[in-house]
Structure 1
């Protein structure tokens, strides 16, 4: 099978209830981390990994997400007329060429696996990536690019993995490890949200995947899993049961869970401090806040 990965699925149908009331009118995926929406970080990471076709699985109320990637001719004209060329370049970098982006509706909230399976007809017989925009990863080399390079050597199915505390394993899909070679581990099993104390390891799957079309076919075999939802983890685990290779990739980088308020705030601080034009002023503010808190105690 050709190992070129040129398509990516972005499951963005969730309601974002943890961020209400903001998400009453604003899709969570275009909430801004410093000055870029979460979805832009995901798109930029995909582009760096060689992705050419972008498939968004959406739901009702996500029209603002679609508008974000459209052209903004009036705004572009205004910036050009006022000579704001740097802002114009930033704006144009968010545009998506016609034909490179597709939107599908997930009509029922049946889980991540169901969302991915909605894109089956657009994937065809090619390997593809899945990117969850909630997982923002700061890395010198983008996470998906690391995985694509490793995938050229391994084939099979590959998931991004990171170590978590034993108490956190109940919130993730967890790998049962058969062998390890540097950052690559071969899995002999996967368990979705195992009860505390029953996880086969503390190596958790996070929101980056490179999968084969066979994984999509596996949805015909599995039923609903943890939480009564159709789980992507179960479809990937079916690959292991069939004797096909599934690998975990320990990526080099820092992952932020921007699906939670605390994680979003942590990412905001980290990404602001990484920006040269913001670093000094923001670091001084944080230091003052810390000093004030210490004095109050």
Structure 2
């Protein structure tokens, strides 16, 4: 059963400087939770019970966030602040284990994932990027749907979203044989290209930071040479898997994606999630109406 997810959190967060100078970018808030908590909750909802953080020095706050804080809990309990107590006590549900491994040098996403090889072993595993946040549009979140598609088919899944053609150079782009899969559905992948020039892109289907991968990918990463940006690319190992005849499907998401690794995406996520939060929705909606009228 798929239950392990690798979440690389070793990045420097340069796109959100100076906010990330002393605070890990994964700890920047979206409403009342850091981005990493939203992602871990998404993983747990999809059945992940072993959360593997690939981290580095200076990221202790990420691990600390998921630890118990006995002093804080005691203060909240003494003041009968039960809702707040529950919100800090139940960050990591019972039965879910969080493990950290170190990435000693920044060598790309593929290298970060490979750092977790001893923990995933011979099992299939998931990968989630912590700066990509998905606001679901259905009762069942996209990642949960994708994990279900893997369980039903036994085929690895990579989440994609159609992006404007002028943006394909920013992403890994998949080729589904000219098909444009419907939202919430999977389609066989024929190829994947890391950040292709617009005129060479096989489609506009961009990988959005959610993967369910066969164990073979971890083995392939061990011999994957540096690629784009002189880094070890996860997409290169995935490409090799397909060249070997391995099956992979592209799962098209239906929710809204926010790249919280940049300033605009982080602000957009706060607005979108703030409009759904019971404590902030009314005041935020009123404020936004005022701003619209003023503009």
TM class, shorter-chain normalised? over 0.9
Structure 1: distance between partners of 2:281 and 2:62: 29
Q: Kindly tell me the number of residue pairs found equivalent between the two proteins.
A: 290
- Encode CA deviations 1:7-38: one digit per residue, 9 max, x unaligned: 01010000001122221111010110011000
Shift of residue 133, structure 1, vs aligned partner: 1.2
SS at match of 2:187: strand
Q: What are the Cα deviations for residues 104-152 of structure 1, in whole angstroms up to 9, with x where unaligned?
A: 1101100000000000010011111111111100113222211111011
Q: Following superposition of structure 1 onto structure 2, how do residues 252-271 of structure 1 map, counting pairs within 5 Å?
A: 252-271=254-273
- 1:189-208 matches, within 5 Å, as 189-208=191-210
For 1:95 and 1:164, how far apart are their aligned partners in 2?
34
51, 55, 60: which one aligns with 2:52:
55
Separation (CA, whole Å) in 2 of partners of 1:205 and 1:241: 19
How do 1:202-221 and structure 2 match up within 5 A?
202-221=204-223
Q: Deviations over 1:47-90 (max 9, x none)?
A: 11111111000011001111111110000000000000111111
The correspondence of residues 62-141 of structure 1 with structure 2, limited to 5 A, is: 62-95=59-92, 100-139=97-136, 140=138, 141=140
Runs of 5+ in structure 1 lacking a partner?
Answer: none
RMSD over equivalenced CA pairs, Å:
1.5
Native 8 Å contact 1:169 1:193 kept in 2? yes
CA distance in 2: counterparts of 1:62 and 1:152, whole angstroms: 33
Give the CA deviation at 1:156.
2.8
Offset of residue 5 of structure 1: 0.9
SS at match of 1:185: strand
TM-score by length of 1: 0.94
> Aligned pair in 2 of structure 1 residues 84, 235: CA closer, same or farther (>3 Å)?
same
For the Cα contact (< 8 Å) 1:272–1:282, is it kept in 2? yes
C-alpha distance in 2 between matches for 1:14 and 1:97: 28
Contact 2:176–2:190, Cα closer than 8 Å, also in 1: yes
Contact 1:134 1:257 in 2 (8 A): yes
Note if contact 1:162-1:204 (Cα within 8 Å) is conserved in structure 2.
yes
Structure 1 residue aligned with 2:233: 231
Gaps of 5+ in 2: none
